[in-house]
């Protein structure tokens, strides 16, 4: 039995949620999102709460129950507050800057890397060594942050590269004579 799935998801103030069959549509101050639940999951709107339940007691339905509830919770939080992911750049000469909406990264390659964010994602560069990726879709924000980090991930000897702000790099010891 899903402990996460049992809890109803409260609809925050300033957000409107509608349920049409398997589709949960949410509209808030930051934008509009929707989630289509699997056929083995039933979604209902009761007293300003979104209730997610499995339609039968099969293992497949129970395994999708908690995930569906979390997806509904994520879209409700996304349209109200949004999501953001912070990245840090370490290394001599490594820096980031904005070129219009595109992100330009100097990461030690012969040419600068230019990253064009998808629609719905905004990138801010408060300092040349800090990047903030924000948007309303949690999955998309995480994907964009991962793509930026992938250009030059942190290496274990000097810690150079692009890393998440909360990430801890396990350092290795270099060669000894």
Mean pLDDT for the chain overall? 93
Task: Assess whether pLDDT exceeds 90 at residue 176.
Answer: no
Checking if the pLDDT of 61 tops 70, the result is: yes
Residue 174 has pLDDT above 90, yes or no: no
Residues 59 and 105 in one domain: no
What integer pLDDT is reported at residue 57 of this predicted model?
Answer: 87
Give dist(CA 84, CA 136) in Å, integer: 9
Q: In the chain, what percentage of residues exceed pLDDT 70?
A: 99
175 in a domain, yes or no?
no
Q: Which two tokens stand for residue 111?
A: 């040419």
Whole-structure pTM value? 0.89
Provide the pLDDT for residue 87.
Answer: 97
Instruction: Report pLDDT for 26.
Output: 94
> What is the pLDDT confidence band of residue 84, given thresholds at 50, 70 and 90?
very high
The pLDDT of residue 5 is: 85
- Shared-domain flag, residues 134 and 109: yes
Q: How many domains does the chain have?
A: 2
Neighbours of 8 (CB within 10 A): 18
The two tokens of residue 80 are 């109200």
Question: For 104-154, how does the pLDDT look when each residue is reduced to its tens digit (9 = 90+)?
Answer: 999 999 999 999 999 999 999 999 999 999 999 999 999 999 999 999 999
Look at residue 113 and tell me if it is in a domain.
Answer: yes
Residues 27, 44: one domain? yes
CA distance 46 to 9: 10
Question: The domain containing residue 150 runs over which residues?
Answer: 83-164
Answer yes or no: is pLDDT of 99 > 80.
Answer: yes
Alpha-carbon span 110 to 130, nearest angstrom:
21
Report d(CA 31, CA 82) in Å as an integer.
9
pLDDT of 1 > 70? The answer is no
Same domain, 13 and 74: yes
Rg (CA), the chain: 21
pLDDT at 4 over 90: no
Q: What is the dihedral of CA 156, 161, 166, 172, to 10 degrees?
A: 10
Q: Among 68, 78, 51, which residue's Cα sits nearest to residue 139?
A: 78
Average pLDDT over residues 76-99: 95
Which is nearest to 72 in space by CA: 104, 42, 110? Answer: 42
Cα 81–Cα 87–Cα 88 angle in degrees, nearest 5: 145
């Amino acid at each position: 039995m899903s402990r996460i799935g049992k809890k109803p998801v409260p609809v925050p103030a300033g957000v409107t949620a509608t349920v049409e069959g398997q589709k949960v549509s949410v509209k808030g101050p930051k934008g509009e999102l929707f989630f289509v639940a699997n056929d083995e999951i039933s979604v209902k709107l009761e007293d300003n709460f979104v209730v997610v339940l499995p339609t039968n007691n099969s293992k497949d339905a129970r395994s999708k129950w908690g995930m569906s509830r979390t997806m509904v919770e994520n879209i409700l939080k996304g349209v109200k507050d949004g999501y953001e992911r912070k990245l840090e750049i370490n290394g001599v000469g490594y820096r980031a800057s904005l070129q219009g909406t595109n992100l330009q990264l100097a990461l030690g390659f012969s040419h600068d890397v230019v990253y064009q964010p998808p629609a719905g994602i905004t990138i801010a560069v408060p300092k040349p060594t800090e990047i903030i990726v924000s948007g309303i879709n949690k999955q998309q924000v995480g994907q964009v942050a991962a793509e930026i980090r992938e250009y030059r991930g942190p290496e274990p000897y000097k810690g150079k590269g692009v890393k998440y702000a909360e990430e801890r790099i396990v350092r290795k010891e270099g060669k000894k004579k």
